[in-house]
């Protein structure tokens, strides 16, 4: 749950808190996920290369 979703639920009040999915963007963000995984994959590749160099 994002900060915007939490904030909207808190602002709605306890009696009228309703989950409205049409307000939030639910499109998948594959490019953003791939860009987030890129540094991790580079670190893993470097670690694997160092392990192979030790052999």
How far apart are the C-alpha atoms of 10 and 4, rounded to whole Å? 10
Per-residue pLDDT reduced to its tens digit, 3-26: 877 777 777 665 554 555 555 666
Length of the chain: 55
Rounded to two decimals, the pTM is 0.46
Cα distances from 39 to residues 32, 43, 44, 48, in angstroms, run 12, 6, 9, 14
Closest CA to 5 of 20, 16, 13, 15: 20
Per-residue pLDDT reduced to its tens digit, 34-46: 898 999 999 999 9
pLDDT of residue 5: 79
pLDDT of residue 52: 96
How far apart are the C-alpha atoms of 30 and 21, rounded to whole Å? 20
**Per-residue confidence band for 1, with pLDDT thresholds at 50, 70 and 90:** low
C-beta atoms surrounding 8 within 10 Å: 16
């Amino acid at each position: 749950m994002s900060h915007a979703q939490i904030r909207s639920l808190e602002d709605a009040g306890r009696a009228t808190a309703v989950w409205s999915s049409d307000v939030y963007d639910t499109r998948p963000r594959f490019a953003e996920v791939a860009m987030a995984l890129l540094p991790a994959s580079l670190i893993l590749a470097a670690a694997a290369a160092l392990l192979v160099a030790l052999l």
